[in-house]
Structure 1
Amino acid sequence: MVTRVPPSLLRHRIGVEPYLGDGAYGPTYGPLVEHPALVGKAVRMVRAPDGREVTSSAQIIAAPGLDCPPGSRVTLPDGRIATAITTASHTAPGLPVPASTEVMCE
């Protein structure tokens, strides 16, 4: 039974600077951490946490537990820095499908 997305499918490397909140001088971020991931580039409409409809230009699948809250800076494999719009954890206990984290970026 598959319990998490197989590492062999995570062919890209991304860098994530987790959003920590707003400080006196603007947004603050945690340290850059690299992760294996699968990155797809497609334009899609997604709903941001505040309810706005936003265009996502990159979709990321990573291992479960990825620390990438909305607002985080994500360095994509091509070097572009994107902003995380939404993060979703996918699990299906007892079913033969992999657990993963999905991040939509603008």
Structure 2
Amino acid sequence: MLSEVPPWLLRHRIAVEPYLGDSAYGPQFGERVENVPALVAAVRKQLADKDGRTVLATAQVIAAPDLDCPPGSRVTLPDGRNATAISTASHTAPGLPVPASMEVMCQ
């Protein structure tokens, strides 16, 4: 059984519009989900995006492991800034006393 990151640690609230893919009319997004519990930190970290280009991440989001936020998703941060998800990482450690979480790096 996996334990999740405790809800009391997720002090911020974000909104997420999951990226669904590109169409002839541009990027398509799923329904906006409001009030997603998260822990958001300001960062400055160089990452490779989904196309392999080097980009600068300016926000790190930690949320519950079931967060639907693939790279390319639109994320509204607690300060109202709109950001784009660059990369996601699912953190699990079955059998260890470490909570599962989803990490999203945003530009």
TM-score (norm 1): 0.95
What is the percent sequence identity of the aligned residues? 71
The aligned counterpart of 1:65 is 66
Match of 1:3 in 2: 3
Contact kept? 2:2, 2:94, Cα under 8 Å: no
The Cα of 1:50 is off from its aligned counterpart by: 2.0
CA distance in structure 2 between the partners assigned to 1:28 and 1:51 by the alignment? 21
- Which stretches of structure 1, 4 residues or more, deviate above 2 A after TM superposition? none
Is 1:30 the counterpart of 2:30? The answer is yes
Q: What is aligned with 2:84?
A: 83
Tell me what 2:106 maps to: 105
CA RMSD, Structure 1 to Structure 2 (Å):
1.3
List runs of 5+ in structure 1 lacking aligned partners.
none
Q: Offset of 1:63 from its aligned partner?
A: 0.4
Distance in structure 2 (CA, Å) of the matches to 1:57 and 1:14:
15
Q: Secondary structure at the match of 2:86?
A: strand
**Partner letter of residue 100 of structure 1?**
S
Give the 3-state SS of the residue equivalent to 1:86 in structure 2. Answer: strand
| Structure 2 unmatched runs, 5+ | none
Q: 1:18-57 residue pairs with structure 2 within 5 A?
A: 18-34=18-34, 35-57=36-58
